[in-house]
Structure 1
């Protein structure tokens, strides 16, 4: 899934994230609070996530508000998702911040070995939550294509749009 944000220069930034869970209109991703993406999202009210399902030939777009669940505020949720990601992904939270300059290893080892992650979530681990206010679904499997727009819970039936 790709998530679009607005950079400090006003330009759009698109990043690929792994969707970890869905809770109704809320999409949950894991992220590092030290990342540029997290810092940008802290300063803006919302974001848009998009993905294309090749099997069903359906494009999904979710637009909404973003907030973060941290280990300090949400220990059970962050621990559950921490345990779902693999050891190598966890190790990234224990090393230098994302986007920092790479430093070659100080030993004679053939390749860089990331730090060993703890059994509990790293301090900068968090859950990025995108709560969708609007969902666009573009169905491309049949002709004519169908385009639907959903507006939050309890706001009536979806609107059909021209694809």
Structure 2
């Protein structure tokens, strides 16, 4: 069994969020955390601008993995917000600053395709999901996981 060191960035082929910093709170984490503890976390762009907050973490229930984080940008007191599906692998959890860093500039995030809180896309649609992952230069989470399973074989331990 491998223990993850939060001071060591994940490799490029990892499909999870990278963890940086040495900040540790009480309880579990940062390797395994309740999704609810991440809701409301600030998101900062790669160029250091506060771009929004995490409002939801979407699970691929059948696949048993995180599909997307939902980023809320703009608006005031929940009115006029734009929501964006963010590939989990595009995020870095900064435990020192207690925020996520999104691997995209603030301008790119502002120009990202988004959706309204009352009209969510079909997140199980692989064509839609592929376009989201391509926008953030990430391989689709379902393809990357399949490749790892095929590489290791079904009987190989993680």
Give the structure with the larger helix fraction.
Answer: 2
Give the structure with the larger strand fraction.
Answer: 1
The structure with higher relative contact order (CA 8 Å, sep 6+) is 1
TM bracket (short chain) = under 0.3
User: Please, what TM-score do these two structures have when normalized by structure 2?
Assistant: 0.26
User: Please, what TM-score do these two structures have when normalized by structure 1?
Assistant: 0.25
